[in-house]
Amino acid sequence: MSKLVTIYGGSGFVGRYIARRMAKEGWRVRVAVRRPNEAMHVKPYGVPGQVEPVFCNIRDDASVAAVMQGADAVVNCVGVLNQVGKNTFSAVQAEGAERIARLAKAAGIDRMVHLSAIGADAGADSEYARTKAKGEAGVLEHMPGAVILRPSVIFGAEDEFFNRFAAMTRLGPVLPIAKGATKFQPVYVDDVAQAAVKGVLGEAEAGVYELGGAEVKTFAELMNQMLDVILRRRLVVSLPGFAAGLMAFGFDMAQTLSLGLFENTLLTRDQLKNLKVDNVVAEGAKTLADLGIRPVAMGAVLPDYLWKFRPNGQYDELTASASNLRGDI
């Protein structure tokens, strides 16, 4: 019988790529999510019955334990960028991660891959970063042989980074950002998935890996690269600290006062704290290179999914091709 992996958050941005690769490896894949009916897109990743979405509430012991029954490995991809309702940073990223590791150990499962983030630090100003660190500690307490992956900002067709800011360019001639000088090392989502699969298959040594791409760029430089791809001219403005703080406070208050009807996906006060620290691979850290993975460059991928934000969508390329042909005649 083929082996089984349970992927918590396996229908999300990163999880779906891991699920697809594990199915190609011949494993049965159990995708544990809060809304299985919204995760049906994972089923075609394998033959009928190979990849199955199942219900799981990561805040509940019984629910987490039930979906790992019979599994040979577990992968945790669950995380939140903004706290909404009961899905707080602490409940999801700290307690949830520890819960999966603790119950996996009790079930006799000896392989775990945990998705964390560069910047995880118990002493950070950002609660996001602190709870990521607590989650790592909880995992290692119960599963010292776990593989922990800390990616920088992740890019790919379903990302919430380039897609979000590219959509904002439709609103006006100015693209406002916060902390434009902060450095990032964007990593391709499928490179992260490859790293996770190596952890599941036992092809990666236990420990923490910091995953960054081939290029280090400032926030502002990334936005200008995106603008080049979508063929739009916009003024990238890095907001002064007080202005960014006022905006973040306003958006947070709007979410609170609306009882969550408005979800702050724009800029939170905690994200602003996180943006004060460069998001790049630390010197001496284990990286993609230690896993035998060569990072995919942004330039090779961004045009494949950001074309829809161009003024004329896919027709901009056709127009450019036609212009080149006229020039050759």
Sequence ranges of the domains in the chain: 4-158+185-213+280-295
User: Residue 210 has what pLDDT?
Assistant: 98
Nearby residues of 75 by Cβ (< 8 Å), 6 or more positions away = 5, 6, 7, 8, 10, 15, 18, 112, 113, 114, 115, 196, 199, 200
pLDDT value, residue 260: 85
Torsion of CA 29, 30, 33, 35, to 10 degrees: 100
Low-confidence ranges of the chain (pLDDT < 70): 1, 315-329
In angstroms, how far is CA 31 from the centroid of its own chain? 16
pLDDT at residue 323, rounded to an integer: 54
Torsional class of 77: left (φ above 0), alpha (ψ -120 to 50), beta (otherwise): alpha
pLDDT by residue (tens digit) across 188-236? 999 999 999 999 999 999 999 999 999 999 999 999 999 999 999 999 9
Q: How far apart are CA 43 and CA 31, in angstroms?
A: 9
pLDDT at position 325: 54
**Structure tokens, 81:** 């960028």
pTM of the model: 0.94
CA angle 323, 328, 329 (to 5 degrees): 100
Radius of gyration, CA atoms only, the chain: 21
**Cα–Cα distance, 61 to 83 (Å, whole number):** 21
pLDDT digits (tens, 9 = 90+) for 156-199: 999 999 999 999 999 999 999 999 999 999 999 999 999 999 99
What pLDDT, on the 0 to 100 scale, is given for residue 221? 98
Q: Hey, what CATH topology would domain 4-158+185-213+280-295 get?
A: Rossmann fold (3.40.50)
